[in-house]
Structure 1
Amino acid sequence: MRPLRLLPVIILLVSACAQPEPGPTPTVTVTTSASEEHGGTRSPDLTTPHPTTTHETTAQTEDFARERARELLNNEIYSALGLELDLIGEGFSRKDARRAVDSLDVDWRDQAALAVGELSMFTMNSRVGMMNDLQAGGFTREEAQYGVDNVYVDYYEKAHAMAHYLSYNMDYMLFEDIRQLLIDEHGFLPEEADWAIENLHPDAVG
């Protein structure tokens, strides 16, 4: 509750003691409609705004959430969960956010495929790494699997890029150790890891 601001006591006392100068007596003109003169009921003021009902307010909020969801989806790649969480973060209730997302005609598997294409441009992910990133972004396992299966990514090249990164950032690591890291820590297939090591320094022996 906001605190009530009190005027200084001295101002109140001065105001109470001051005698107003006499002035002309105001004249008040009262206009009475014909219906009131004959005891009728005064017509309601047609300019009085109609109060907004709770139902109308709820509908307006849901419409706004839906439009905002479309706007976000036009600018970013989202999972259903990711979009819902962003709407909640903008101040919509969980209920309104969920309804807004559910009302959209979106194939979230296609969104997962778009996400794979985006991730492949700036990560060195294996298939496993791609799946993990998609699910961390809110996609279901089924949606993530669809995305990985339907977007071409050269995972041999990704393994090679990761092997190159590891060889420069982990001093004195044997090629066999790098190969094992590619498989155990980063989820590359053995054949992808082998190709990466063979092409890291073709003349070297691990």
Structure 2
Amino acid sequence: MIGIVAAVLAIIPFLGVVAFLLGPVAVILGIIGLRLKFRKRGTALAGLVLGVLALIIASIVITSIASGIKSATNPPAPSNPPVATSPAPETTVLTPNPLDNATPGQKNALRKAESYIEFQAFSRQGLVEQLEFNKFSPEDATWAVDHLTVDWRDQATRKAQSYLENQAFSRQGLIDQLVFNKFPAEDATWAVDHVTVDWNEQAAKKGKSYLENQAFSREGLIDQLVFNGFTRQQAEYAVTQAGL
């Protein structure tokens, strides 16, 4: 009877403590009943089993209740929402102006170089030498030329075009002329290959200018034009145009 009561109480929340008290009593009485010879063993065994069962159920129920109470009294800490981070401000790198620390001589040399380059084409070395001719020191002249905003290959092309406007040149003769004006051979070659020119017509103009000053045989004029850098084919075209 005690085992039945303990099992029932073990199921009911908050009465499991009573089941903890009655359960051991039912177990003890069941053991004693099994030992007595004149007691019904079935009843004693049932009391023993119910007593043990009451202890187990009461343990589970009480543990569940304790866990629920602990969860209710200690709620989980709220998770912190992600903090929006603003992008780092862009850093502006200030490039120092080279003119801020320039000497008066350097500034004047730069002004002179800019005026020259505005009206005619120069090589880098040719412009340095021109400034030195104007009595600027080599240091100031070099500093000024190196602080110009200029495309030296464009300068070589402009120089080549200006030569072609005034006199006739072969391709190689024009390259040699630009190198003489202090342009590097690579820039001179690039410039000559990027001008708009008909080399046959240049040979014809050169042949005509020779004939205006002296007499030539056909073969003699061909040799003279080849000496000036024209190809044999260009030279033959020129003398044919001249009527030789």
TM-score bin, normalised by smaller chain: 0.5 to 0.7
Structure 1 partner of 2:154: 110
Alpha-carbon distance, 1:156 to partner: 0.7
Q: CA deviation at 1:169?
A: 2.4
Structure 1 residue 85 displacement after superposition: 0.8
Pick from 187, 196, 199 the counterpart of residue 241 of structure 2: 199
CA distance 1:168–1:89, change in 2 (3 Å): closer
Q: What SS class does the counterpart of residue 139 from structure 1 fall into?
A: coil
Aligned counterparts of 1:164 and 1:69: Cα–Cα separation in 2: 38
The structure with more helix, counted as a fraction of residues: 2
2:224 to 181, 186, 194: 181
Identity %: 29
The offset of 1:180, in angstroms, is: 1.1
For 2:195, the equivalent position in structure 1 comes to 151
**Cα distance in 1 for residues equivalent to 2:208 and 2:102:** 56
SS in 1 for 2:193: helix
Aligned residue runs from structure 1 range 75-154, under 5 A: 75-154=119-198
Q: CA RMSD in A?
A: 1.7
Give 1:151 shift: 0.5
Change in Cα spacing, 1:117 to 1:140, as seen in structure 2 (3 Å) is: same
TM-score scaled to structure 2, two decimals?
A: 0.56
CA distance in 1, matches of 2:194, 2:103: 39
1:190 Cα deviation from its structure 2 partner: 1.2
Match of 1:25 in 2: none
Task: Tell me the secondary structure at the aligned position of residue 140 of structure 2.
Answer: helix
Return 5+ residue gaps in structure 1 as ranges. Answer: 1-55
The letter of the residue matching 1:174 is: S
Give CA-to-partner distance per residue, 1:87-129, whole Å, 9 cap, x none.
1111110011001111112111100000111000111111111
2:110 aligned residue: 66
Question: What is the deviation of 1:170?
Answer: 2.3
Letter in 2 for 1:166: Y
Is 1:190 the counterpart of 2:236? The answer is: no
For residues 16-49 of structure 1, the C-alpha deviation after alignment (integer angstroms, 9 at most, x for no partner) is xxxxxxxxxxxxxxxxxxxxxxxxxxxxxxxxxx
**Count of matched residue positions in the alignment of Structure 1 and Structure 2:** 145
* Higher alpha-carbon Rg: 2
Is the partner of 1:150 in helix, strand or coil?
A: coil
Letter in 2 for 1:177: G
Shift of 1:130: 0.6
Report how far residue 182 of structure 1 moved.
0.5
Tell me which of the two structures has the higher relative contact order, counting C-alpha pairs closer than 8 angstroms and 6 or more residues apart.
1
Counting only pairs closer than 5 Å after superposition, residues 6-85 of structure 1 correspond to structure 2 as 59-85=103-129
How far 1:58 moved relative to its partner? Answer: 6.4
Q: Look up the SS of the partner of 2:121 in the other structure.
A: coil
Q: TM-score, normalised by structure 1?
A: 0.66
Letter in 2 for 1:74: E
